[in-house]
Amino acid sequence: MVEMLAVLAIVALMLFIGMPVFQSFSARGMTAATSGLATTLRLARQYAVTKRTEVWVVFPDGRGVYNVRPEIRKAAVSYAVIASNRTTGKLEYISEWKYLPKGLTFITNSTFSVETVFSSYSQGTDRTTEFPFPSDSTNFSQNLSAVLFKSNGQSYRYSRTSSRWTLGAVPNRTVIPITSARYIEVNTNTGLVVRYNDVAGVTNRVFLMNQTGQFRIVE
């Protein structure tokens, strides 16, 4: 009994010592996630203004069946930048796929006080938010949540009610939530999300101001 109590005391001490380290790693991961996303949004807007074209930052969210089934791993954890080629009119990837740090995901199905990027999504026969996936060299396409930057520097989200890209209602913001309080299970054989699992954690939000195309990070 004495030995068992001693072992438990040692384990408790190790957990007490290790918890701040774990929290520090988690905080650094969240900082890296929000700053990386902010950099991508900034560069996408700059490309749209400079090249005088339309640019989308796309977010696979796990809705529907993924034609390229292993790519379901990108659901809720990745994003990329696609631009319209002014010469050919075709959509082209202008960035590699970027991933959130391990242990973080986007929240794709929560309700916030403003519209999230994951409500920027067409449905049914409306194929407005279908993009080549996972690259522009493939014959497959996927319905992806997205933010659109136009050449005027403003950002738009797709409205299912009006079936068009819009600045949205006042306060004209689109939120992109990142959390450590959820992880997802996927099935690469079926190309489907199996389930979302909620755990203890924190959530940061990137607010994209549609009128200006600028953003701010809220912890």
Total domains, the chain: 1
Do the domain assignments include residue 49?
A: yes
Residue 55 lies in a domain: yes
CATH number of the domain encompassing residue 118: 3.55.40
12's enclosing H/E stretch is: helix 2-51
Q: What is the chain's pLDDT, residue by residue, as a tens digit (219 residues)?
A: 667 666 565 655 555 544 444 444 456 888 899 999 999 999 999 999 999 999 999 999 998 899 899 999 999 999 999 999 988 989 999 999 999 999 999 998 765 556 889 988 888 888 999 999 999 999 899 999 999 999 999 999 998 888 899 987 767 888 999 999 888 899 999 999 998 888 888 888 888 888 888 888 887
Cα 55 to chain centroid, rounded: 16
Domain span at residue 62?
43-218
Establish if 30 belongs to a structural domain: no
Q: Is residue 162 part of a domain?
A: yes
Q: With respect to residue 143, please indicate whether it lies within any of the assigned structural domains.
A: yes
Which residues contact residue 106 at a Cβ distance below 8 angstroms, ignoring those fewer than 6 apart? 59, 61, 76, 77, 100, 118, 176, 177, 178, 179
The predicted structure's pLDDT at residue 7: 57
Question: Looking at the domain assignment, is residue 2 inside a domain?
Answer: no
Q: Among candidates 6, 42, 89, which has minimal Cα distance to 208?
A: 42
Q: In this structure, is residue 131 part of a structural domain?
A: yes
Q: pTM for this one?
A: 0.85
How many CB atoms are closer than 10 A to CB 59? 25
- Which residues share a beta bridge with 207? 175, 216
Assigned domain for 56 exists: yes
